[in-house]
């Protein structure tokens, strides 16, 4: 059960896993703070809800009082999502594929994706379609068991598997181009799978070996976590690897008295909505800045002075003073429709993330569902146009894995007023939460910080008004002639 046992024969797997969020799952200070607050506010009734996915072996062994335990104090073999846990799974509850409905075999057979396992002197081995990334649906259901979460009150607050299952990536041609979760998050290579001593009788076999670092969006936030910088770089590369493509189009009347900006975003590479996961806590937003000379003539997604929100970003506060802000997130509500901020209170979840196309078939109207366009300023803003014409417009799409407002809630002193009470979250963590710039166009071999429109770089595009001219720049291969849709809106007014 101890992952240290595995590293002698599987050093690469162990090295990758030890720098992953799976290894960090019980040590993440945001998770620990959220669980601690949830146990306190529910008088312990939250129970093992969080530990089921963050320390599943501890729950399976039934050796801990989940309502009282400090997850980081668990012994190493039962902390996080371990080798033993994943590789002894042999079934999943298909009727309830969420909140860790995985079942352990209990027979000490290590299961994997190698179709022809051989005897070895260390452990029994077996092929499992759930561990084979090329087996699209069984392997994705495996991942989805912990990456779909329904609260005790019925709020479906994490829907990554459900989003994938409804997308083109879960469907066969011509409606889809099937890709499993592992296709994106466990890139493989051909190599030696077990590297233990041959003198011990370990067979030398070269097979497809899957990466166990699982880069996605979250990162380690505490000192001393192994390979923290490597992990952050892998996450950044994953986020910038053509998940999104976009464009800026500037329209102006022929007299040059006013202009507007259209921003196009297209989720072309994520196998689910973007962002995904715990999107009630994530903050993703669009930053648009228009200049005339060195003067900012329009801005959205920045603070009131036009300064980018890349440090200690409190995007929710900005949303109140920036009516044009394009903020991508989930909101949670209780059974009476009141907005809540902690997941154990949520009975309903309402999101406006970038959709994922439900079909890849050109004859299916759903093929364009992920194409989203938004006008700046909004039609109902005052003013609804920009005075004059900018000579430069920049666009960035920014993502904070957990929003500053969420962290600040967790870092507040105890609500009971005890002066000696320790906050659930160390305030020092607030400065460690990164902000990633996701849309990174390239120019030659150089990756740029933002997409930039200028009259000289822009390409003229047709306009619906003979008195208006229009020109665009793009990152990717945006098809302006396809159907485009306005961003999804939150149904509840309090969350807009």
The tens digit of pLDDT for each residue in 122-164 reads 899 999 999 999 999 999 999 999 999 999 999 999 999 999 9
Residue 227 lies inside a defined structural domain of this protein: no
Q: How far is CA 387 from CA 124, 263, 292, 405, in A?
A: 72, 18, 11, 34
Give yes or no: residues 351 and 282 share one domain.
yes
Give yes or no: residues 315 and 196 share one domain.
no
Summarize pLDDT for 433-492 with one digit per residue, the tens: 999 999 988 888 888 899 999 999 999 999 989 899 999 999 999 999 899 999 988 888
Give yes or no: residues 10 and 151 share one domain.
yes
Residue with tokens 């050796």: 63
Residue 231 lies inside a defined structural domain of this protein: no
CB-based contact 376:263 (threshold 8 Å)? yes
Q: Give me the pLDDT at residue 155, please.
A: 95
Residue 229 lies inside a defined structural domain of this protein: no
Using a pLDDT cut of 70, give the percent of the chain over it.
Answer: 97
Mean pLDDT over residues 166-174, rounded? Answer: 94
Instruction: Tell me the pLDDT of the chain averaged across its residues.
Output: 92
Compute the chain's Rg from CA coordinates.
24
Dihedral sign (CA 68, 69, 71, 73): positive
Give yes or no: residues 199 and 248 share one domain.
no
CB-based contact 455:448 (threshold 8 Å)? no
Give yes or no: residues 308 and 343 share one domain.
yes
Mean pLDDT over residues 418-430, rounded? Answer: 85
Residue 121 lies inside a defined structural domain of this protein: yes
Could you tell me the pTM of the whole model?
A: 0.94
Summarize pLDDT for 435-450 with one digit per residue, the tens: 999 998 888 888 889 9
Residue with tokens 């963050």: 54
- Rounded to an integer, what distance in angstroms lies between the CA atom of residue 96 and that of residue 91? 12
Query: What's the total number of domains in the chain?
Result: 2
Q: Give me the pLDDT at residue 419, please.
A: 64
Q: Give me the pLDDT at residue 62, please.
A: 76
Domain that holds residue 111: 3-215
Q: Give me the pLDDT at residue 312, please.
A: 81
Residue 226 lies inside a defined structural domain of this protein: no
Mean pLDDT over residues 199-210, rounded? Answer: 79
Residue 236 lies inside a defined structural domain of this protein: no
Residue 178 DSSP label = -
Residue 232 lies inside a defined structural domain of this protein: no
Residue 222 lies inside a defined structural domain of this protein: no
Q: Give me the pLDDT at residue 413, please.
A: 79
Q: Give me the pLDDT at residue 420, please.
A: 65
Summarize pLDDT for 96-113 with one digit per residue, the tens: 889 999 999 999 999 999
Q: Give me the pLDDT at residue 80, please.
A: 96
Q: Integer distance in angstroms from the first to the last C-alpha of the chain?
A: 47
Mean pLDDT over residues 297-314, rounded? Answer: 90
Check pLDDT > 90 for residue 199.
no
Give yes or no: residues 282 and 188 share one domain.
no
Give yes or no: residues 320 and 446 share one domain.
yes
Which of 180, 215, 250 corresponds to the end of one domain?
A: 215
Give yes or no: residues 153 and 251 share one domain.
no
Give yes or no: residues 81 and 178 share one domain.
yes
Q: Give me the pLDDT at residue 97, please.
A: 86
Mean pLDDT over residues 201-225, rounded? Answer: 90
Give yes or no: residues 264 and 355 share one domain.
yes
Give yes or no: residues 92 and 147 share one domain.
yes
Give yes or no: residues 271 and 320 share one domain.
yes
391 confidence band (pLDDT: 50, 70, 90): very high
């Amino acid at each position: 059960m101890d992952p240290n046992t595995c590293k002698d024969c599987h050093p690469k797997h162990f090295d990758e896993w030890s720098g992953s969020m799976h290894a960090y799952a019980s040590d993440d200070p945001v998770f620990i703070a959220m669980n601690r607050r949830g146990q306190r506010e529910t008088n312990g009734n939250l129970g093992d809800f969080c530990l089921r996915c963050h320390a599943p072996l501890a729950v399976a062994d039934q050796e801990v009082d989940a309502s009282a335990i400090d997850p980081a104090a668990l012994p190493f073999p039962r902390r996080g999502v371990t080798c033993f846990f994943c590789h002894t799974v042999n079934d999943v509850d298909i009727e309830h594929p969420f909140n860790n409905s995985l079942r352990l075999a209990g027979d000490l057979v290590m299961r994997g994706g190698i179709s022809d396992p051989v005897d070895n002197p260390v452990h029994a081995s077996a092929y499992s379609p759930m561990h084979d990334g090329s087996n699209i649906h069984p392997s994705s259901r495996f991942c989805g068991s912990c990456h779909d979460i329904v609260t005790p009150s019925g709020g479906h607050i994490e829907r990554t598997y459900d989003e994938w299952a409804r997308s083109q990536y879960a469907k066969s041609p011509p409606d889809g181009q099937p890709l499993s979760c592992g296709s994106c998050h466990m890139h493989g290579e051909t190599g030696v799978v077990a590297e233990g001593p041959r003198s011990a009788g370990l067979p030398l076999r070269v097979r497809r070996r899957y990466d166990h670092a699982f880069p996605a969006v979250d990162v380690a936030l505490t000192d001393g976590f192994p390979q923290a910088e490597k992990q952050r770089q892998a996450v950044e590369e994953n986020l910038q690897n053509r998940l999104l493509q976009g464009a800026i189009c500037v329209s102006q009347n022929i007299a040059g008295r006013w202009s507007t900006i259209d921003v196009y975003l297209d989720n072309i590479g994520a196998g689910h909505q973007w962002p995904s996961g715990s999107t009630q806590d994530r903050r993703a937003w669009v930053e648009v800045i228009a200049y005339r000379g060195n003067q900012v003539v329009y801005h959205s997604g920045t603070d009131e002075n036009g300064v980018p929100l890349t440090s200690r970003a409190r995007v929710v506060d900005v949303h109140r003073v920036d009516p044009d802000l394009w903020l991508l997130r989930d909101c949670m509500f209780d059974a009476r429709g009141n907005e809540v901020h902690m997941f154990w209170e949520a009975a309903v979840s309402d999101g406006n993330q970038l959709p994922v196309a439900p079909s890849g078939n050109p004859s299916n109207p759903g093929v364009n569902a992920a194409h989203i366009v938004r006008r700046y300023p909004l039609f109902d803003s005052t003013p609804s146009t920009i005075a004059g014409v900018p000579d430069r417009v920049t666009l960035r799409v920014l993502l904070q894995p957990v929003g500053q407002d969420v962290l600040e809630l967790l870092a507040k002193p105890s609500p009971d007023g005890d002066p000696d009470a320790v906050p659930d979250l160390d305030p020092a963590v607030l400065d460690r939460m990164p902000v990633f710039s996701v849309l990174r166009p390239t120019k030659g071999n150089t990756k740029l910080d933002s997409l930039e429109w200028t009259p000289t770089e822009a390409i003229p595009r047709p306009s619906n008004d003979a008195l208006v001219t229009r020109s665009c720049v793009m990152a990717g291969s945006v098809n302006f002639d396809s159907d485009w849709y306005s961003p999804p809106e939150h149904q509840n007014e309090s969350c807009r």
